[in-house]
């Protein structure tokens, strides 16, 4: 039984957990390759004009997997991961949007995770998926326990400075990867959704370019959740979206604690929540002594030359300022 997982959107949040669980209940996991022009073109042709770049990329990965003759596509409906907020609307309706937009797809596993409801807890969703794949209850619960432990290991590796791709290599391929020491006094926080920050194709390898320019990069995943939660409380009211609240909390932490010399906020064109939290982060930067901040907006037309120029100028400005 082959289950395909598209390499997009929440992939960077939960992939190790999903993979361990699905394999634990007897499925063979098939993952789409890293984003490429071919995959972006597949997604652009298959989606509507008014969806954001990450969704177009996700569509491209989904179409690619469908062509690989997988038995199921794993696209869970992530409604709420905390009781006080919801996820972005695109996650709430993602299985339905995919199902009603793309043609000739295999069946979609769209188990719902909503911690606001007891019957939609992560464990209940896991049981639903396990039963669908024909696994006995004992095997399902054992696989779920292993998956949760893997998720904590994954997050722990990123706290040590590894990127999601590097952490995945450590977990599943046993590679000895450690954060490389950078001989520089310039630190830059790169803040945004993981699917924006870590997709090397859509960002034109922004993180790699910054390292080549001699900057040490710190991302949200390298900040303790307790620090993110604490600094998100500086907002006048609790933000409605969970993942966006984490981004704001991470940015506020870096600004208030002066952990970096400047911040690059990566956002998607046509993304409403991104637009809102970008304004909140910019306002906080201005209130803290005009803290250096640059906003990079991504879409399918982002050019490498223009991005390189902006990154070089930002790094040069931080060096002169320091």
Domains of the chain: 2-172 (no CATH), 187-321 (3.40.50.11900)
Contact assessment for residue 247 and residue 191, using Cβ atoms and an 8 Å cutoff: yes
> How confident is residue 51, by pLDDT bands cut at 50, 70 and 90?
confident
Question: In this predicted model, what pLDDT tens digit does every residue of 165-179 receive, in sequence order?
Answer: 999 999 998 777 665
The pLDDT score that the predictor gives to residue 269 is: 85
The pLDDT score that the predictor gives to residue 186 is: 93
Per-residue buried b or exposed e for 198-226, using 16+ beta carbons within 10 Å of the residue's own CB: bbeebbbebbebbbebebbbbbbbbbeee
Q: Among 271, 61, 59, 301, which residue's Cα sits nearest to residue 204?
A: 301
* DSSP structure string for 1-66: -EEEE-SSTTHHHHHHHHHHHHHHTTPEEEEPPSP-HHHHHHHHHHS-TTS-HHHHHHHHHHHHHH
Contact assessment for residue 171 and residue 34, using Cβ atoms and an 8 Å cutoff: no
The number of residues in the chain equals 322
Mean of pLDDT values over 65-87: 91
- For the chain, the average pLDDT equals 91
Please list the helix, strand and coil fractions of the chain in percent, rounded to the nearest 5, in that order: 50, 15, 35
Residue 4 burial by Cβ neighbours in a 10 Å radius (0-12, 13-18, 19+):
buried
pTM score, whole prediction = 0.92
What stretch of H or E contains 195?
Answer: helix 194-197
| 304 vs 56, residue with greater confidence | 56
Contact assessment for residue 188 and residue 215, using Cβ atoms and an 8 Å cutoff: yes
- The pair of three-digit structure tokens given for residue 213, joined into one six-digit string: 């320019």
The pLDDT score that the predictor gives to residue 182 is: 58
Give percent of the chain above pLDDT 90: 75
The pLDDT score that the predictor gives to residue 56 is: 92
158 pLDDT more than 90: yes
| 252 vs 175, residue with greater confidence | 252
> How confident is residue 303, by pLDDT bands cut at 50, 70 and 90?
confident
Q: Among 322, 294, 319, which residue's Cα sits nearest to residue 307?
A: 294
């Amino acid at each position: 039984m082959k289950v395909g997982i598209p390499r997009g959107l929440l992939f960077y949040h939960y992939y190790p957990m999903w993979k361990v669980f699905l394999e634990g209940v007897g499925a063979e996991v098939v993952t789409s390759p890293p984003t490429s022009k071919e995959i972006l073109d597949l997604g652009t042709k298959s989606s509507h004009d008014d969806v954001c770049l990450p969704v177009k990329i996700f569509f491209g990965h989904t179409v690619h997997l469908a062509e690989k003759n997988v038995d199921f596509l794993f696209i869970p409906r992530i409604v709420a991961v905390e009781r006080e907020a919801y996820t972005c609307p695109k996650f709430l309706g993602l299985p339905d949007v995919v199902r009603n937009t793309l043609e000739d797809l295999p069946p979609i596993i769209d188990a719902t995770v909503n911690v606001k409801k007891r019957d939609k807890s992560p464990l209940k969703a896991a049981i639903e998926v396990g039963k669908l794949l024909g696994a006995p209850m004992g095997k399902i619960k054992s696989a779920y326990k292993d998956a949760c432990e893997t998720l904590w290991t994954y997050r722990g590796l990123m706290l040590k400075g590894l990127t999601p791709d590097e952490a995945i290599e450590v977990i599943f391929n046993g590679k000895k990867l450690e954060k490389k020491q950078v001989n520089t006094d310039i630190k830059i926080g790169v803040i945004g959704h993981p699917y924006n920050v870590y997709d090397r194709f859509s960002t034109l390898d922004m993180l790699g370019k910054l390292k080549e320019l001699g900057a040490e990069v710190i991302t949200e995943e390298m900040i303790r959740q307790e620090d993110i939660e604490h600094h998100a409380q500086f907002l006048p009211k609790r933000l409605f979206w969970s993942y966006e609240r984490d981004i704001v909390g991470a940015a506020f932490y870096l600004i208030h604690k002066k952990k970096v010399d400047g911040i690059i906020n990566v956002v998607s064109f046509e993304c409403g929540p991104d637009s809102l939290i970008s304004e909140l982060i910019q306002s906080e930067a201005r209130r803290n002594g005009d803290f250096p901040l640059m906003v990079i907006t991504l879409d399918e037309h982002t050019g490498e030359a223009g991005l390189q120029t902006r990154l070089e100028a930002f790094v040069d400005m931080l060096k002169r300022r320091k």
